[in-house]
Chain A
């Protein structure tokens, strides 16, 4: 848990965050920028302003991409300040209507997408529940929106003869709740998922979704202490398997770029493994104008897409234009949220999950 007063104090009001904040880039007013949000959070915290819809409108307009922290000279935890302040707003019942819908869906059906819990894995083939040291945490996005990505991942796991199991029961990791400020429900979901992992007796958990990965690795640890579990994204696992020649992909002749998802890249430092896999696939890689810890956000995360869809898509549009400007045929990424947001505006530019490319190359 950050020392929120210390973080607010450390903000030098220098304004460098204006150079990277995706919301500021779209909206252009100072309240849209990280610096403005620190000021607003401070005003609420120290009683200079009362919570209201105007404030909520500004504070919920943030994807929590942490690009501001990256450029911030003293690395102020702006996204953390915003998420903590959102908790105060949510406690007072002040939130975006779209987030109310998400919270209800999670309460009733353990996913944010208003889908039935019973149908969570309905479209995924090859899932197993068995004794295994490795759990595969599918996540809500892949379960309900992109089962093909989950299928691709399972194909690779099976080709590599990696023994894995689903959790006996899987519920949303709670990421979106933590971002939008509904902590109690997030904690209950987290406790449930961890209990399931213990029940299964796994030693490691593999994730498809960087949001789930980040939530387990950072947020669950903050909530409950060390989990004594190895946690990794599929790219970390598959890269190792390729390096050890356990799987040997065939070359794919494509000209692509790799889009660094914020949760996988900037938050968790996983930049090399996806690129290493692409190299093993033999694709021609041209990098985006900004990459790795300096990569720009796709605009989907932190509850932003649900509550500010037009602006979220406008941010995604910019990323697609950047990809077009470097002359690639396809954007490859490793996050179902990025895939969705970018796909919605990509037009004739293909948006691919790396798992799908890899599964295809192992056929």
Chain B
């Protein structure tokens, strides 16, 4: 059977590409990996998705759904398979303001959705840094989160129900249109964060929140990273709920100052806070936070929106500024995401920092620290095989350390390919039951096979995008 012809019959000539240039462009995402597909198709309806999945089962070729491909661990690339680019399925199907819900297709872009919702003074809170480009389908597949999830929760808290095309081509609807329901197993939760291994979402019912009335932003500078971490814990256990709380280590602060010329205090660590709500509440909450920062060397509340925006720009420009620190070095997302219980935050930030210093690696520790989520970025010579060797070792060392703190190897970016080896280390026997579920739903193993450690490590998952020395 000519699979390409069969796919063309399903989506039409305009919506399938197999030329080497297009396949190259779909061989990457924001991770270090690269895998070349056999074809990319753009279905525009649930019916086309079903037909493609059924074909994949009959002819036994792998498929993966893909939104904007902004993911960080190789989730949306596939060797010799067919990528389903779902960005044509980008309609807001039904805005139910009276129920604080919206029903969308998977290709709707987060920011475009929120720009529409803003007019009605509601919003969809999960806000990954990629929100300008990322799609709802991708956010659900990754259980994406961002700055404001410390208060508002992750994508998981905002998906009431899904329409899923299972790997066998059957369609099911999960969840309901009710905020609270305990009827049967919570299948919606199973699919959220499944990284494209259990099904393709063709519809999602999302919960909305009212937009907060106002916000206040502040920073606190510390001359000790551990004390900054301890302050985070104090704040998170005090009863105040900041709408965002971020940490930046000294390398982060220095990078933003030197590369962007943003005026940041000289310190070992910086915390950035935001509180939102009505005016009385935000003033009160900010005063309480200031009080809890008594060990800081400086605390400053932004006096107006412009100053607040500048502070958040400093935070959001950290990773790109890091890219510009040295033209010969490249920043790579490896060991870039992890989480710990909030009491272990001080140990986690200082411990990861110490690992970088021990190996002489130029790395920074930062992140959505309020829920114990840390990020790192490291700069390496991409063409130096010794650096890659070092990075592989570092990867293991950091995650062994984080697991020793009762932590998780990924707070929000997922397992994908990059963290394949750590799923078993974290979840041990439970991984076999995850695989059993995978086998039940996907008996022919066609849906994003090998990802998320749902099969034994296949040779088809190389660690690095370009072989060192060939860039």
Contacts and interface: CB of A to CB of B under 8 A. Distances in A.
Interface stretch (A12-20, A159-167, A212-220): A12-20
Contacts of A9: 327, 330, 382, 471
Contact of A40 (B17, B25, B319): B25
B51 interface: no
B320 A74 contact: yes
A55 interface: yes
B28 A18 contact: no
A54 B19 contact: yes
B87 A13 contact: no
Interface string B22-38: 10111111110000000
Interface in B308-333: 316-317, 319-321, 323-324, 327-328, 330-331
Given A15-B68, A54-B21, A3 B133 contact: no
Contact of A31 (B21, B42, B68, B132): B21
A13 to B, nearest CB: 5
B11 to A, nearest CB: 13
A227 interface: no
Contact of A16 (B27, B42, B70, B331): B70
Contacts of B42: 28-29
Interface string B75-111: 0000000000101100000000000000000000101
A243 interface: no
Interface string A27-54: 0111101011001100100100100001
Q: Which of B21, B27, B31, B130 has the most CB of A within 10 A?
A: B21
A275 to B, nearest CB: 20
A6 B87 CA distance: 31
Given A3-B327, A10-B323, A28-B87, A16 B21 contact: no
A218 B202 CA distance: 48
Given A3-B327, A28-B88, A54-B19, A15 B30 contact: yes
Contacts of A43: 24
A43 B130 CA distance: 25
Nearest to B332: A12
Nearest to A59: B21
A74 B28 contact: no
A30 B25 contact: yes
Contact of A18 (B17, B40, B68, B327): B68
A72 B327 CA distance: 17
Nearest to B328: A6
A9 B327 CA distance: 8
B180 interface: no
Given A46-B470, A54-B20, A14 B25 contact: no
Contacts of B324: 10, 74
A133 to B, nearest CB: 36
A58 B21 CA distance: 8
Given A46-B470, A73-B319, A74-B324, A14 B130 contact: yes
A54 B21 CA distance: 7
B470 A29 contact: no
A283 interface: no
Contacts of B339: none
A71 interface: yes
A104 to B, nearest CB: 28
A72 B323 CA distance: 12
Nearest to A47: B470
A75 interface: yes
B20 A40 contact: no
A36 B324 CA distance: 21
B69 interface: yes
A16 B327 CA distance: 21
B110 to A, nearest CB: 10
Interface string A265-307: 0000000000000000000000000000000000000000000
A15 B321 contact: no
A78 to B, nearest CB: 14
A29 B24 contact: no
Contact of B29 (A6, A13, A18, A54): A13
B88 A36 contact: no
Contacts of A55: 21
A12 B30 contact: yes
Contacts of B68: 15, 18
Given A13-B28, A13-B30, A15-B133, A75 B320 contact: yes
Nearest to A43: B24
A30 B69 contact: yes
Interface string B1-31: 0000000000000000101111011111111
Contacts of A13: 28-31
Contacts of A10: 323-324, 327, 330
24 contacts: A9-B382, A12-B319, A12-B323, A12-B331, A13-B29, A13-B30, A14-B70, A14-B130, A15-B130, A16-B130, A16-B133, A29-B25, A29-B40, A29-B85, A33-B25, A35-B25, A35-B28, A39-B25, A46-B471, A54-B20, A58-B21, A73-B316, A74-B320, A75-B320
Given A10-B330, A71-B132, 17 more contacts: A9-B382, A12-B30, A12-B331, A13-B28, A13-B31, A14-B70, A14-B130, A14-B133, A19-B111, A19-B132, A19-B133, A35-B28, A49-B20, A49-B21, A54-B20, A73-B323, A74-B320
Interface of A: 3, 6, 9-10, 12-19, 28-31, 33, 35-36, 39-40, 43, 46, 49, 54-55, 58, 71-75
Interface of B: 17, 19-22, 24-31, 40, 42, 68-70, 85, 87-88, 109, 111, 130, 132-133, 316-317, 319-321, 323-324, 327-328, 330-331, 382, 470-471
